[in-house]
Structure 1
Amino acid sequence: MAGDLSNVPTAGGLVTAYAAGTLSPVEAATAALEAIRERDADVNAFALVDPEQALETARAAERRWRDGTPLGPLDGVPMSIKDLFLTRGWPTLRGSRRIDPAQAWDVDSPVAARLREGGLVLLGKTTTPEMGWKGVCDNPLTGITRNPWDTSRTSGGSSGGSAVAVATGMGPLSVGTDGGGSIRIPAAFCGVVGFKPTHGRVPQYPLSSLAVLAHAGPIARTVDDVARLLDVLAAPDHRDPYDLGLHDGPYSRAVDRDVRGVSAAFSADLGFVRVDPEIAAAVASAARALQDAGMRVEAADPGFPDPLPAFDVLWCAGASKWLDVFDARAEDVDPGLRDVIERGLTYSAGDYLAAEAERLALAVRMGEFHTRHDVLITPTVPIPAFEAGHDVPPGSGLSDWAQWTPFTYPFNMTHQPAISVPVGRTAAGLPIGLQIVGPRHAEALVLAVARAVERAVSATDRSPRGTTAAAP
């Protein structure tokens, strides 16, 4: 299997073509659906595909473009949505056999509502580990989602299906969730761009039991497309009490901000992480390229110890609330999820409050750090994608998924915006991601620096060897 996505339009390319009349939303949706038919059997990115609804939505968008009345800047663009978001008319099974599909599915989450209002064409729902509980993507309902660069490897998770769909040209956009790295991990492993904006920037409903950690955000092949989709998603919704409300200007314009003179702290290891040498070299090279492009880059660690114990309390205690949703002790539940829930039940209210106090102290520490450095640059994940079907790298001696992704979960605890951008590949051809973290509410700055990374790092082939694609 070999392929090239260079001729497949981005979301920005599609809307330009729609406006010029050289391509229609129906043609784009048809091409995306054909890509799903051709490729998804190899990677298992979709839990549900609805060609009839997609084409009906695309035909309505086609009429609007023809009449010069598009609903928004991404009207008619085909995309997918993770199977953790309520989506009217489709079951939201969350990768679980314990959720009954035969019930009324008549409510849209804020994410699904904003996408419909913007005229985007929903192709289907992407895979997730059961309840989105871990950093890889397999579940009892749909099985293993595989990395398109090497299908023996994991896609990462929990938004693995979304990252794989984008990486293989099965729609240029997707939306994922991120409670400990779940957008950025698969983005790094699959060679795409994944953005976790400030907590509350993209409203959610119903709130996850992990609401203090959970974010929602866009996944795309380019920073420009991520910014375009964030413009659609970052709209107020009264159902989310963490909703940040209106924001400053369109993010799609922020990507072209001049970042010369921006101060970046480059931390190769946060002071406590062991990083694969190939990943360390690629990220350091990208940091030097940013310096050559005019940013002020200096080595600096935030100076906090690994907050994994506190994260574990917040994560597992939150997960234990899933007992209210389904029988998590049933035999057809992911055994790892059962263990996390059981561990969560052992924590007391005092344990939770102590972990929350540590989370808040970490947020204050990072706020002070950003008075000296505009952004923080790190690797996204310290290891390349490992063998699929495992929660931790085989032979690593690790016991929990979060142990192998120490660059991501701290910034769920602090609620900061963080993005993963591809910056190269290992000798084995596996993608490498660089993470940019900014102060809370600094989405525009993070996007601008991410776009600078795209410009500064010499272009690497972002097309998985396991895809074949052509322009519609």
Structure 2
Amino acid sequence: MSDLAGMTAAELAGAYARRETSPVEATRAALAAIEERDAELNAFVLVDADAALRDAAESEARWSAGTQRGRADGVPTSVKDLERTRGWPTLRGTWLADEAGPWPEDSPSVARLREAGAVLIGKTTTPEFGWKGVTDSGRFGITRHPLDPALTPGGSSGGSAAAVAAGMGTWSVGTDGGGSVRVPASFTGTVGLKPTGDLISSYPPGSNGLLSHRGPITRTVLDAAIMLDVIGRPDHRDWAALPARDGSFTDGIEAGIEGLTIGYSPDLGYGSNDPEVASLVAEAVGVLSGLGAHVTEIEPLFDDPVEAFQTLWCAGVARTLDPYGPDDLARVDPALLEYAEKGRGITAVEYLDALAVCADLGLRMARFHETYDVLVTPTVPGVAFPAGQNGPTPEQSRVWASWTPYTYPFNMTRQPALSVPCGRTRSGLPVGLQLVGPRHQDARVLRAGRAYETRGQQS
């Protein structure tokens, strides 16, 4: 990617202020990267260059007049195609969506980005209704990894992660119902944050209930904090939205982690890691200790909650597809139909039992955080695998959660969870380190991730 396309949002804001570059130039660089790479990577379902350049020119005028709206003003931005965008179709990776619309409104996160002056360049790919941990669909095809197009970038926010990693826009808004921001961040070497549940407002509400989250995919932890300042504000359309927070998520982000207590779990007691992943994560934990944190390897916290997660997930899929008749469903991914069929067989008591598992997990984690400030795990046990398959192996392809065991528990507890890059395997594939904090302590998680990310500057 070009130097300009590779800049972070924080770097762009500084360069705009110093008149070293402009939002129009940054947007042209992002569009040039899309022109160069997206035919191969298939990260976008829609690019609106005319609208982006028009918005960039308006942002440039604000920076010139000193009336910019903050550090997001003029930043080239993409949005996962599950989030509504005024004037653009939201097709959700399915043939069941009618491109004709109408499309009259933005989702809360998109509305906040527009208000902040971000330059929206387009919509990124998702599997059908965002249902799985890789990114392909019958309607839009297979999204591929920027480092090796034979591989998947993960999912379901794989289009967003591929775009950010390839310089096709500075940052992106993804969604995360079981790891869909953090998994592709781990695979592509980007940063992905699933914040505290309801910190980012949702509208319309997702079918997966408490599992559903939105979050930034960026190149740095600092950028994730800057975006969270923008999109982490309440919207009246979300009755469960958290109240507005005083201050900025960047406040104290450079304070370091000396004295922080960290519980390190290599596998949560039930996972199985690729040896290179295990080694890189252990090395990263050593870095955290070297930065002054008190690190303890901990005993397993809970049994694998995958059965309860699957109950909630399949019920959500069934609800998503419920409005459609047999002719419509004939055009749906057969594996997605299998999930829906399982969901239709779930009883109300089974669903409530699964919610009770979430409550128990939440209590266990609340007790854990009475002793430890942050939990650290691998983000994913492995690395990117061949594109076009639903999992690393045929067995794991049947249940995508089977190969993402460290992400979905924290959708169930609604805690903030951050994936930061922690190195690459010998074959050059990125590995992610996951940092999890107590609910409402997103700033602490960001501070810990920032300390790790800037370790070279501190040593």
What is the TM-score when the length of structure 1 is the normalising length?
0.94
* 3-state DSSP of counterpart to 1:236: coil
Per-residue Cα deviation, 1:360-381 (whole angstroms, up to 9, x for no partner): 1111110000001000000000
The 5 Å alignment of 1:1-80 reads 8-80=6-78
Per-residue Cα deviation, 1:216-272 (whole angstroms, up to 9, x for no partner): 010111111111111101111111122111124101223212310000001001011
d(CA) in 1 for partners of 2:112, 2:4: 29
Query: Residue 398 and residue 105 in structure 1: after superposition, are their counterparts in 2 closer, same or farther (change >3 A)?
Result: closer
Is the 1:423–1:457 Cα contact (8 Å) retained in structure 2?
A: no
Equivalent position to 1:123, from 121, 140, 144: 121
Is the 2:30–2:169 Cα contact (8 Å) retained in structure 1?
A: yes
The 5 Å alignment of 1:27-176 reads 27-176=25-174
Is the 1:302–1:366 Cα contact (8 Å) retained in structure 2?
A: no
1:429 aligns with 2:428: yes
Q: Which amino acid aligns with 2:451?
A: A
Is the 1:155–1:189 Cα contact (8 Å) retained in structure 2?
A: yes
1:341 aligns with 2:353: no
The 5 Å alignment of 1:259-278 reads 259-278=257-276
d(CA) in 1 for partners of 2:204, 2:430: 34
1:404 aligns with 2:406: no
d(CA) in 2 for partners of 1:278, 1:458: 25
Query: Residue 208 and residue 288 in structure 1: after superposition, are their counterparts in 2 closer, same or farther (change >3 A)?
Result: same
Tell me the equivalent position of 2:361: 362
Tell me the equivalent position of 2:186: 188
The 5 Å alignment of 1:182-331 reads 182-327=180-325, 330-331=329-330
Q: Which amino acid aligns with 2:404?
A: T
Is the 1:283–1:434 Cα contact (8 Å) retained in structure 2?
A: yes
How much has 1:403 moved relative to structure 2? 0.4
Q: Which amino acid aligns with 1:298?
A: T
* 3-state DSSP of counterpart to 1:153: coil
How much has 1:457 moved relative to structure 2? 6.7
Tell me the equivalent position of 1:464: none
Q: Which amino acid aligns with 2:22?
A: S
The count of residues paired between Structure 1 and Structure 2 equals 457
Q: Which amino acid aligns with 2:202?
A: Q
Per-residue Cα deviation, 1:409-466 (whole angstroms, up to 9, x for no partner): 000000000000001111111100000000000010000000111123799xxxxxxx
d(CA) in 2 for partners of 1:267, 1:79: 35
d(CA) in 2 for partners of 1:407, 1:185: 10
d(CA) in 2 for partners of 1:436, 1:37: 35
* 3-state DSSP of counterpart to 2:238: coil
**Higher mean Cα deviation, 148-157 or 253-262?**
253-262
Q: Which amino acid aligns with 1:110?
A: P
* 3-state DSSP of counterpart to 2:422: strand
Is the 1:197–1:217 Cα contact (8 Å) retained in structure 2?
A: yes
Query: Residue 37 and residue 6 in structure 1: after superposition, are their counterparts in 2 closer, same or farther (change >3 A)?
Result: closer
Is the 2:186–2:379 Cα contact (8 Å) retained in structure 1?
A: yes
Query: Residue 457 and residue 24 in structure 1: after superposition, are their counterparts in 2 closer, same or farther (change >3 A)?
Result: closer
Query: Residue 314 and residue 395 in structure 1: after superposition, are their counterparts in 2 closer, same or farther (change >3 A)?
Result: closer
How much has 1:397 moved relative to structure 2? 5.4
**Which blocks of at least 5 consecutive residues in structure 1 are unaligned?**
460-472
Q: Which amino acid aligns with 2:308?
A: A
Is the 1:220–1:226 Cα contact (8 Å) retained in structure 2?
A: yes
* 3-state DSSP of counterpart to 2:10: helix
* 3-state DSSP of counterpart to 1:365: helix
**Which blocks of at least 5 consecutive residues in structure 2 are unaligned?**
none
Per-residue Cα deviation, 1:320-340 (whole angstroms, up to 9, x for no partner): 111245447623211111111
Query: Residue 71 and residue 271 in structure 1: after superposition, are their counterparts in 2 closer, same or farther (change >3 A)?
Result: same
d(CA) in 2 for partners of 1:309, 1:244: 29
Is the 1:192–1:422 Cα contact (8 Å) retained in structure 2?
A: yes
Q: Which amino acid aligns with 1:391?
A: N
Q: Which amino acid aligns with 2:405?
A: P
Q: Which amino acid aligns with 2:91?
A: L
How much has 1:140 moved relative to structure 2? 1.1
Is the 2:10–2:223 Cα contact (8 Å) retained in structure 1?
A: yes
* 3-state DSSP of counterpart to 1:288: helix
Per-residue Cα deviation, 1:314-359 (whole angstroms, up to 9, x for no partner): 0000111112454476232111111111110010001100000111
Is the 1:5–1:169 Cα contact (8 Å) retained in structure 2?
A: no
d(CA) in 2 for partners of 1:7, 1:28: 7
CA-atom RMSD, angstroms?
1.6
d(CA) in 1 for partners of 2:236, 2:300: 35
Identity rate of aligned residues, in percent?
52
* 3-state DSSP of counterpart to 2:216: strand
d(CA) in 1 for partners of 2:76, 2:444: 27
* 3-state DSSP of counterpart to 2:439: coil
Q: Which amino acid aligns with 1:115?
A: L
1:442 aligns with 2:441: yes
d(CA) in 1 for partners of 2:3, 2:191: 15
d(CA) in 1 for partners of 2:158, 2:325: 25
Runs of 4+ in 1 over 6 A off after TM superposition: none
Larger RCO (CA within 8 A; separation ≥ 6):
1
How much has 1:5 moved relative to structure 2? 5.8
Is the 2:125–2:157 Cα contact (8 Å) retained in structure 1?
A: yes
How much has 1:6 moved relative to structure 2? 8.9
